[in-house]
């Protein structure tokens, strides 16, 4: 979790913060769902994003 928050703060959150809670919620949700889970490579998964690594496991196991 600490690495997630570090990445979120250093890569995504504007240096001056957000104008509203709604803007922050929308932007941070987008980061977590789109960027962090589907696009950003993770060293633990041999450079594959977590959601894609999970998809690969499901394909191998035959479970959906």
Contact partners, residue 35, CB within 8 Å, separation at least 6: 12
pLDDT for res 62: 65
Q: Tell me, what's the pLDDT at 51?
A: 81
Tokens read off for 17: 């913060």
Q: How many CA atoms lie within 13 A of 19 on its CB side?
A: 1
Spatial distance between the Cα atoms of 53 and 46, rounded to a whole number of angstroms: 9
Give, as one character, the DSSP assignment of residue 39.
I
Instruction: Output the pLDDT for position 38.
Output: 81
pLDDT at 24: 94
**pLDDT averaged per 10 residues in sequence order, the chain, 64 residues:** 81 90 94 82 78 74 63
pLDDT in the model for residue 20: 96
- Compute the distance between CA of residue 25 and CA of residue 15 in angstroms, rounded to an integer: 16
């Amino acid at each position: 979790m600490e690495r997630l928050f570090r990445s979120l703060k250093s890569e995504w959150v504007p240096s001056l913060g957000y104008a509203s809670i709604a803007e922050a919620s929308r932007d941070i949700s987008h980061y977590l769902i789109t960027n962090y889970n589907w696009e950003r490579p993770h060293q633990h998964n041999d450079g594959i994003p977590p959601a894609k690594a999970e998809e690969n496991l499901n394909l191998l196991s035959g479970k959906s």
